[in-house]
């Protein structure tokens, strides 16, 4: 009886160890093939939308305009907070902000007509260009972030 208990205990411990090893940590960071294709599509669409809605001010290369328009290329402001970026693309932003150590204080107009998909495509484009971190920002996540925007401000 006692031996049975001990072997049961050992089996239980082993199954815990095995299941802990089974959940690979880096799997989450790797994009599936489907997401890789989606990422490419988002970037292509996002680039066109960016050219249409954003590049007048932020420039095609994302460097902004002197002290008036902040850069998107290598912008610490974008890296700090993805949700904030998604919200300001849709709702605009006013008041003083600091980007890469430089102060800016010009209002950026809202884009109320952009759909969550379009916001996702633009966001994915600007987060995968000009040295910014590689990631896909999916439409469902954007829809959820947009729902929460008002609460933050």
**Site residues (vs ligand HEC, CB under 6 A):** 53-54, 56-58, 69-72, 75, 77-78, 85, 88-89, 93-95, 97, 99, 104-106, 108-109, 111, 122, 126
With respect to ligand HEC, which residue has the nearer C-beta, 39 or 114?
A: 114
Q: Look at the chain and count its residues.
A: 153
Nearest residue (beta carbon) to ligand HEC: 54
C-alpha span between 119 and 88 (Å, rounded): 10
Q: How far is the CB of 118 from ligand HEC (least distance, A)?
A: 9
With respect to ligand HEC, which residue has the nearer C-beta, 14 or 109?
A: 109
With respect to ligand HEC, which residue has the nearer C-beta, 95 or 101?
A: 95
Which residues, 6 or more positions from 82, have their beta carbon under 8 angstroms from its beta carbon? 123, 127, 137, 145
Q: How far is the CB of 145 from ligand HEC (least distance, A)?
A: 14
Among 60, 83, 93, smallest CA distance to 145 is for 83
C-alpha span between 86 and 69 (Å, rounded): 18
With respect to ligand HEC, which residue has the nearer C-beta, 37 or 65?
A: 65
Q: How far is the CB of 141 from ligand HEC (least distance, A)?
A: 16
Q: Are 114 and 89 in contact (CB under 8 A)?
A: yes
Q: How far is the CB of 11 from ligand HEC (least distance, A)?
A: 54
């Amino acid at each position: 009886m006692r031996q049975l208990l001990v072997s049961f205990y050992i089996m239980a411990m082993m199954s815990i160890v095995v299941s802990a090893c089974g959940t690979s940590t880096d799997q989450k960071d790797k994009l599936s093939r489907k997401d890789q294709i989606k990422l490419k599509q988002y970037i292509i669409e996002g680039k066109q939308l960016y050219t249409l809605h954003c590049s007048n001010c932020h420039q095609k290369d994302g460097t902004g305009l002197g002290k008036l328009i902040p850069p998107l290329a290598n912008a610490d402001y974008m890296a700090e907070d993805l949700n904030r970026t998604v919200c300001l693309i849709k709702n605009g932003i006013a008041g003083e902000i600091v980007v890469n150590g430089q102060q800016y204080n010009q209002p950026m107009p809202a884009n109320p007509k952009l759909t969550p998909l379009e916001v996702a495509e633009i966001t994915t484009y600007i987060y995968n260009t000009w040295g910014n971190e590689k990631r896909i920002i999916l439409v469902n996540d954007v829809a959820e972030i947009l729902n929460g925007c008002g609460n933050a401000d």
